[in-house]
Structure 1
Amino acid sequence: MREKPSIQQLENFIIYGKVHNFATAARLANITQSAFSFQMKKLEEIVGVQLITRSTRGSHLTREGEFFLSKAIKIVDDLNNAIDELQKFSGKTVSLNIGALMSLGDVLMNRHVSYFKRHNKNIDINVYNLEAKILLRKLENGEIDIASSFLLPQMSLDGYVKEFFYQDELVYYAPNLNLSDEEFSSDIIEQIPFASYSPDYFMATAIDDYFKQININPNIEARLSTPYAIMQYCKSNKTGAFLSKRILSEMGQLTGYYPLEKPLCFNAYLIYKHENPKISSIKIFVDYILNLYNTAKE
């Protein structure tokens, strides 16, 4: 019988087809570069056609490689969908693990999950509130299926599907100042103690970069791990902080914050691997979130 490619070889070939780099593809596949290169050579031997051109200047798909890539994607998609549908047909529950960026907050995701679960009995959702570095590591090694995260400059997300769903506006939260919007200015941020995120968090770096842009140097009085802890600290002290307007609203905080003179916004995305065997369930959840936020805009 004619030898056929393994599913792993096809999945890794698809990864290469997205990034066109052996080192990056091997890292995303979570194997060594030499093992990845061997798999691609073996795949070419099995199909009897050169799929990737290699040189000292790099590598790229051949014309035949481009053709086979489209076929491989369909084969893997069809298999993943068949497995997913079979599990649903048998009554087996598919479990999706979702990581929410710590600074983005998980309160909104928890609410979405509750509604989603009522309408999708065969899909269980587990939500984890994670700092960016841990979030990305767990997404890469398959411990979570979907990441809900801002896209920050420090993140490397080659080879992932990124679905934009919301733009979050950060505001200056200082409930004990009792100022009007007209009385607030950036100078006040420098005059009042500031609460921020832990120094090794990506969000702390983003806020520090913002301070450099507007040329102010606040006194960082406290560094905390979650937006909820920062919110509570500001309630108990004459302290200010940058928090998501959306989270504040969700937590019932409709006053005590001020729009920034120079806006600070972050785009929120759902991020996942297309090669995940749970892809059909992932798409159901992602489509639900996208439709939810698109409807809210109308």
Structure 2
Amino acid sequence: MAELPSIQQLKNFITYGKYQNFTSAARAANITQSAFSFQMKRLEELVGIQLIERSNRGSHLTKDGEMFYERIAPLVSDLETCLCDMRALNGEMQTLAVGTMSSLGDVQMNRHLAYFQKNHRGAALRVYNKEARELLRWLSEDKLDVISLFDLPSLDISAYEKAFFCNENLVYYAPHIEDLQGPITADIAASNPLAQYSPQYVMHDYLDHYFSVYSSVRPMTQAWFSTPYAIMNYCQQNRMGSLLPKRFLQAMGVERGYYDVIPPITLPCYLLYKKTNPNYSAIRLFVSYIQETYHVYERQK
């Protein structure tokens, strides 16, 4: 019988398929680039086809590699889930402490967390909603295993592994301000009554900088809140506008009353964690699940 690839080779190939870059994939797999490259060459030998096209300009999956990735990724995920479930039957439960930004109001992420826990019985989750600086402090003190966070200029996330999972677009939400036609400029948003995040939050600093650069008008801020839920509700009750995540509004069932902004505000969202964390394997399973969930969501939009 022909020799089969190892699970680790397949997992690393899946990692490459997500990044399509040897340096990034090797870093995510926590091995040297040379060792990673050797594993991919050995995998190609065992499978009998070229999976990765290599050149001086970089690398990418071949058509056969893409087909292999699409077929093998769910199989490896099912195997990892099965192992977690079997360990759970023996009383081995890995508990992950997950932190999400309270100013993000990530309804979708909360739903994904619940679905992940339902379908991975070997992993229990403790979820904390905190502001960005506190999330980073808790992660540094090992009180959290993984956090979801905007990549904001004022935050230093260089000490952690980061896995991109989506882009967050902020829109101008003003359901009771009449005669608006999008897209909305920073001047228009600043000229109308504005609800903002509380001054102690990094999102307030980021949006304050946005207005200082792109608006010639000082923002007419009339209310400050700690969560997008409170901001949204206040705008629904008053003639007020605010900059809120589009994904949040859609998840809350809001279909109208918001507009794209000029210049656009697009914030990359990352999952941050430590490679040295003893729960690293469970973290990677969780990260892979979230990345694939958002990848599928984007394909369906």
The question of whether the paired residues in 1 share the 8 Å contact of 2:185 and 2:263 is answered with: no
Partner in structure 1 of residue 153 of structure 2: 153
1:111 equivalent in alignment to 2:118:
no
Structure-2 separation of matches of 1:249 and 1:139:
29
Partner in structure 2 of residue 281 of structure 1: 282
Structure-1 separation of matches of 2:244 and 2:127:
21
Structure-2 separation of matches of 1:113 and 1:183:
33
Partner in structure 2 of residue 97 of structure 1: 97
Partner in structure 2 of residue 194 of structure 1: 194
CA root-mean-square deviation: 2.3
Q: How does 1:54-65 map to 2 (within 5 A)?
A: none
SS of equivalent to 1:158: coil
Q: C-alpha displacement at 1:292, in angstroms?
A: 0.9
Q: C-alpha displacement at 1:91, in angstroms?
A: 2.4
Q: Percent same amino acid at aligned positions? A: 39
Structure 2, unaligned runs of 5 or more: 1-30, 36-79
SS of equivalent to 1:154: coil
Structure-2 separation of matches of 1:165 and 1:278:
20
Structure-1 separation of matches of 2:260 and 2:91:
49
Partner in structure 2 of residue 8 of structure 1: none
Label 1:119 to 1:180 Cα distance change in 2 as closer, same or farther (>3 A): same
Aligned length: 219
Q: C-alpha displacement at 1:162, in angstroms?
A: 0.4
The question of whether the paired residues in 1 share the 8 Å contact of 2:167 and 2:267 is answered with: yes
Structure-1 separation of matches of 2:162 and 2:186:
33
Structure-2 separation of matches of 1:153 and 1:192:
27
SS of equivalent to 2:261: coil
Q: Relative to structure 2, which stretch is displaced further, 180-189 or 235-244?
A: 180-189
Q: TM-score, normalised by structure 1?
A: 0.69
Partner in structure 2 of residue 53 of structure 1: none
Q: How does 1:1-298 map to 2 (within 5 A)?
A: 88=88, 90-182=90-182, 184-215=184-215, 216-298=217-299
The question of whether the paired residues in 1 share the 8 Å contact of 2:191 and 2:218 is answered with: no
Structure-2 separation of matches of 1:271 and 1:184:
33
- One-letter code aligned to 2:249: L
Partner in structure 2 of residue 19 of structure 1: none
The question of whether the paired residues in 2 share the 8 Å contact of 1:106 and 1:129 is answered with: no
Bigger Cα Rg: 1
Runs of 4+ in structure 1 deviating by more than 2 angstroms, as ranges, are 84-92, 178-188
Partner in structure 2 of residue 32 of structure 1: none
Structure-2 separation of matches of 1:242 and 1:100:
19
Q: C-alpha displacement at 1:89, in angstroms?
A: 6.7
Label 1:297 to 1:212 Cα distance change in 2 as closer, same or farther (>3 A): same
Q: C-alpha displacement at 1:119, in angstroms?
A: 1.1
SS of equivalent to 1:196: strand
SS of equivalent to 1:204: helix
